[in-house]
Structure 1
């Protein structure tokens, strides 16, 4: 009898965790969709609202590691000074993995359509954390 009760408790717990992960996944995808929309409006500052406003934010690109929200914003503004360089962004989210109810890893592909500058594409991995009830990017590795 104890074995049956323990098995039922495990089943109920796993169903609850699965439902929470699905809810969290939808929230994470909503954040990434909002980022995509803000980028395509040409609004880098709004795009950056989904990054952790901290000196500990980490962005890794082809030129190395940048720490901090302000430094990351400056990097985006320098790299994408106008709408032609920004182009139109499309994300293809390939995988999300939850390591806890408040920590998520994302693998995706991006494509920038830029008729005047030439298209660009690559892959990214994000670490997102739920901070004060909001999913934020705390680490971004884009190449």
Structure 2
């Protein structure tokens, strides 16, 4: 009985450490996004997204498919640093769905001289070639 309990505790600890490192990697990805955005680098911000025609972004204008079109929309909607402002994220939940997928829920805020805006987001993250990438983003 003691051996079985000990084995379960070790398994739980290993699983917790793996989840913790995955969460850390996802938090670091969101920090890279924030840093890129706040220096006015939309293309750097987009490096955290899956560079694929299958990327899905859902926003106030509906569904956009593809990395390039999502980048084009960001550049159109945020043409300069005044429009971009300073970005902060408040992560509400990071939840593993499988070893390959995570679900992230949070709030975004832009502090801008032309007026602050904010909203919420849900992200579907996928590990692709050893790196976490955003494969679907619903921001409102």
What's the TM-score once normalised by structure 1's chain length?
Answer: 0.93
Aligned to 1:55: 53
Number of positions where the alignment pairs a residue of Structure 1 with one of Structure 2:
140
- Inter-partner Cα distance in structure 1 for 2:101 and 2:3: 30
Would you identify which runs of 4 or more consecutive aligned residues in structure 1 move more than 2 Å? Answer: 3-11
5+ residue gaps, structure 1, are none
Aligned to 2:75: 77
* Structural RMSD (CA): 1.1
5+ residue gaps, structure 2, are none
1:16 is aligned to 2:14: yes
Deviation at 1:14, TM superposition (A): 1.6
Aligned to 1:86: 84
Deviation at 1:101, TM superposition (A): 2.2
Aligned to 1:110: 108
1:127 is aligned to 2:97: no
Aligned partner of residue 137 in structure 1, secondary structure: strand
Aligned to 2:95: 97
What's the TM-score once normalised by structure 2's chain length?
Answer: 0.95
- Tell me the alpha carbon deviations over residues 10-38 of structure 1, each in whole angstroms, 9 at most, x when there is no partner: 32222111100001111100010010000
Deviation at 1:99, TM superposition (A): 1.3
Deviation at 1:102, TM superposition (A): 2.2
- Inter-partner Cα distance in structure 2 for 1:6 and 1:56: 45
